[in-house]
Amino acid sequence: MESPKPQPQNLDEYSAATTVINFDRPIPLLRGPIRRPSPSSGPYVLAFRDLQTWFSALKSSESQILDQCVTGARIGCALTASNKCKPPWWRSLIGPKQTDLKAREHCEAREMEACFVTAKEKCVAFAAEKCATPFRDAWIATRVNPKVARKLIGWASVPERCTWLNSIGLDLGDCEFGETNCYRASELLGSNTDFGSDRFKDLQNSLRLHLLG
């Protein structure tokens, strides 16, 4: 007669809480497959689903690059300030003084602030430069033709929605909504592709309020 199999000593080791691995939810895709305007280059292209998604992705990418750059700049400025304010080599021969430590502390704070202000400005330009080419060449799905889209974007900075629409003589019937097509961001934005300029930042805010709701 076969003897019964021994039971495991610690059943908690086989519980669901111990054996099941929880994975993070997948990050939603920013772009999806849209039929390409010229099928000769392939049937589909990855495109942002609308201008709002494109603007949001651009802002998020710039923000992440800026955060990483600023973090690195803060470390670099701290090292630079420490090197600039360190006492001369001969000071160790006569021994440090309390006044020397205070003076170095003030010196490092002053140098750190000056360095970080300059570095942060460069980080802003760096983030805009890194995002310029990929987002300028990105595809965006839209239901209006590029001419109408450029007209909308060009007048997006008018403060009041009613004034904005009346000024260009455009209502929803003029937008020629049709089947979804995709265009390069540079086609829709025209000359407004200097992502680091104040004009483009104002355009982002205005377009989000007026065109995208």
Q: To the nearest whole number, what is the mean pLDDT of the chain?
A: 74
pLDDT at 183 (0 to 100): 82
Q: How far is Cα 12 from Cα 141, in angstroms, rounded to an integer?
A: 52
- pLDDT band for 70, please (50, 70, 90 cuts): very high
Whole-prediction pTM value? 0.63
| Phi, then psi, of 170 in degrees rounded to 5 | -130, 125
Q: How far is Cα 147 from Cα 95, in angstroms, rounded to an integer?
A: 74
Domains of the chain: which residue ranges? 45-210
Q: Which of 55-64, 143-152, 175-184, 198-207 has the lowest mean pLDDT?
A: 198-207
Instruction: Give me 37's structure tokens.
Output: 């305007």
Q: Which residue has the higher pLDDT, 13 or 25?
A: 25
- pLDDT band for 9, please (50, 70, 90 cuts): low
Greatest alpha-carbon span in the chain: 96
- pLDDT band for 81, please (50, 70, 90 cuts): very high
